[in-house]
Amino acid sequence: MSYEFVTTEKRGNVLLVTMNRPDVYNAVHAPMHNEMDAVWNDFAADEDLWVAILTGAGKAFSAGNDLKYTAQGGKGKAPASGFGGLSMRGDLEKPVIAAVNGFAMGGGFEMALNCDIILAADTAKFALPEVKVGFFAAASGVQLLSRQIGRKPAVDIMLTGRHVMAEEGRELGFVNQVVAPDQLMDAAFAKAAELTAVSPSAIKATKRVLNAMDELDNLHASLQYSRQVIMDLRETEDFKEGVTAFVEKRAPQWKNR
């Protein structure tokens, strides 16, 4: 199937998925959410595909939520499977590798956190900057980052919105490997080759247990609660000011209400 905002390529048992809106740094809007949902649905159902690699076209992995599309009244919402078709998808039993080629901001970082392995170019940059524009990391960033690196370092990143370079991400533990930019895709396919060399049934069984652990931790319920809280946040003056200030490229004037 061909898509407008995503490209896919099959290489043996590996599916390469490339977010393809480079003109807006692969920011995700409603139509792209739904295309990515379809991509992951097809990947899950195809018995000949065992591993996926997710990356971005151009200079960025993904800038996250397309705020300009939102501010301009863009219609639609993310599918039930969540941001990029990944953040609420709790039953995928095949591994996904994030090949982070540039900055991964907000929902872009959250999509990477939902992947099983993160490989990053040494120039890659991560952040959950939602607090700077009146949001919070509601698409699993709060839950996953705190689980993957511990609460204290995660809170520092979430509440300040600061940037984390790839090497610091490796030291913190959410990045598995850092490589030179021109080696990133080779490294991603090499990792995919490692994963396709072992039993796909055993990998599915391992992921089934990991998914069950998330359920025992009430991860899905926590993600649903984040959706409720972000809807409440959307009614605040600070939310409206954050989006407007971002689009107008000025510092926001917070009201705390």
**Residue range of the domain that includes 130:** 1-181+197-257
Residue 189 counted as domain residue: no
Residue 146 counted as domain residue: yes
**Mean pLDDT lowest for which of 64-68, 71-75, 187-191, 252-256?**
71-75
- pLDDT, one tens digit per residue, over 102-113 is 999 999 999 999
Q: Which two tokens stand for residue 158?
A: 């979430």
Instruction: Give me the pLDDT at residue 139, please.
Output: 92
Residue 187 counted as domain residue: no
Q: What is the mean pLDDT of the chain?
A: 94
Residue 228 counted as domain residue: yes
State the residue for tokens 């991603």.
188
Instruction: Give me the pLDDT at residue 46, please.
Output: 97
Domain containing residue 107: CATH number: 3.90.226.10
**Cβ neighbour number for residue 220 with a 10 Å cutoff:** 15
* Residue 108 near residue 62 (C-beta atoms within 8 A): yes
State the residue for tokens 């898509």.
3
Q: pTM (2 decimals)?
A: 0.93
Count of structural domains, the chain: 1
- pLDDT, one tens digit per residue, over 141-150 is 999 999 999 9
**CA-CA distance, 75 to 3, in Å (whole number)?**
19
Residue 57 counted as domain residue: yes
Instruction: Give me the pLDDT at residue 89, please.
Output: 93
Residue 62 counted as domain residue: yes
Whether 73 has a pLDDT exceeding 80, the answer reads no
Instruction: Give me the pLDDT at residue 170, please.
Output: 98
Among 92, 74, 91, 90, residue whose Cα is nearest residue 33: 74
**Cβ neighbour number for residue 3 with a 10 Å cutoff:** 16
Residue 229 counted as domain residue: yes
Residue 188 counted as domain residue: no
